[in-house]
Amino acid sequence: MEFERDTIINYDTVADVTLCQEETLESIVPDACPDIMRIVDVMLSFPFIFLALCLMAVLGSSMTNVILVLGVTGWVPYARTIRAQVLSVREREFVVAARISGARKGYIIFKHILPNVIDSAIILGTLEMGNAILSEASLTFLGMGIPHNRHLGKYDRYWP
């Protein structure tokens, strides 16, 4: 039984495409995030309320400081989710095809990666809004929130 070869494979072209795919994964969105992820791990190692109370004790009670503390302590889920989405999307076929076709990095990021990541960020922002409200109420209940204002954390209005 003889083996017939219908197609001729040019192995140089296959190697070029493979090298281009490997280059694409790191060159479009480099994984320069390990340092940021170490900061995320440090932020997650402290309980939120402990970190928020320490920051509010240093900064004082005001609406600006509450917003600042919620922002400083609340960015961690966004960083983890968006990083995971970007690392997933950058390996998809349409990103590799765009890179092979000669598209610039900025074009690939804004036209291919960002539209696929923004949905997760919007959904996470919607879900985290409830956490921000409860966090502000917790800080106000503990006396470190917004002073002289009625919020969920102020119970004296309803207390007999």
pLDDT values of the chain reduced to their tens digit, one per residue, 160 residues = 454 544 444 444 444 444 444 454 555 556 656 788 888 888 889 888 899 999 999 998 888 999 999 999 899 999 999 999 998 998 899 998 998 998 898 999 999 999 999 999 999 999 999 999 899 888 888 888 887 766 665 665 555 5
Cβ-in-10-Å burial (0-12, 13-18, 19+) of 154 comes to: middle
- The full length of the chain comes to 160
Helix 63-74 to helix 48-59 angle, to the nearest 10 degrees? 140
Give me the pLDDT at residue 26, please. 57
What the block records as the tokens of 136 is 């502000």
Q: How many CB atoms lie within 10 A of CB 88?
A: 13
- The whole-angstrom separation of Cα 99 and Cα 82 is 21
Give me the pLDDT at residue 36, please. 83
Single-letter amino acid code for the residue at 87: L
What the block records as the tokens of 45 is 């190692």
Distance from chain centroid for Cα 30: 15
Helix 11-28 to helix 93-100 angle, to the nearest 10 degrees? 110
Predicted TM-score (pTM) above 0.75: no
Domain ranges of the chain: 32-141
